[in-house]
Amino acid sequence: MNPSSPPDVLQNSERNIHISRGLVADLLISHHWKLATAESCTGGLIAACCTDIAGSSDWFERGFVTYSNAAKTEMLGVNAALIDSHGAVSEEVVRAMVQGALQHSAAQVAVAVTGVAGPGGGSPSKPVGTVWLAWATPAGVVSEVQHFAGDRAQVRAATLQHALHRLATLLQAVDSQASGRQGVLRR
């Protein structure tokens, strides 16, 4: 986050990340699943956040930092023609990234992000703050685009927070379906 952000905004963001990460960890452990990350614009922030807590080896399998297009192709198997035709910041590429993370790891769950963190690199169709995210769970692959405001650090922090929050929500849905209950796990 931006050092000039109000302290309560920083504390709420950190608290939300902590809660989401805890839910993700609990749900992955309860199903004996592992997580893999494939990150471009966040440069490994999601993996770092996950492994910041002791015991994360029980549920975190690996992280791929695929900042360049070549890395996306070499490490995750993303077809270079897909990147050429849709651009690195696209739904097609982020879906290929999340599927590649599963295929190139022993994980059952994955999250992938690719975006324009800024301050440069934006375009009229993909302005700074545009981030595509994808999640793969045993229920399937979900992808979405977000447009985060702020400077580079704020866009990356918002991406981290959203990626973990949405992953927790998706895992709760899978958990509810698997157990046949409507409630949610609370931390």
What is the per-residue pLDDT across 25-84, written as a single tens digit (0 to 9) for each? 999 999 999 999 999 999 999 999 999 999 999 999 999 999 999 999 999 999 999 999
Q: What's the whole-number mean pLDDT along residues 98-102?
A: 98
Domains of the chain: 17-177 (3.90.950.20)
pLDDT value at 3 more than 70: no
CB 112 within 8 A of CB 37: yes
Alpha-carbon distance of 156 to 151, in angstroms, equals 9
What is the per-residue pLDDT across 126-177, written as a single tens digit (0 to 9) for each? 999 999 999 999 999 999 999 999 999 999 999 999 999 999 999 999 988 8
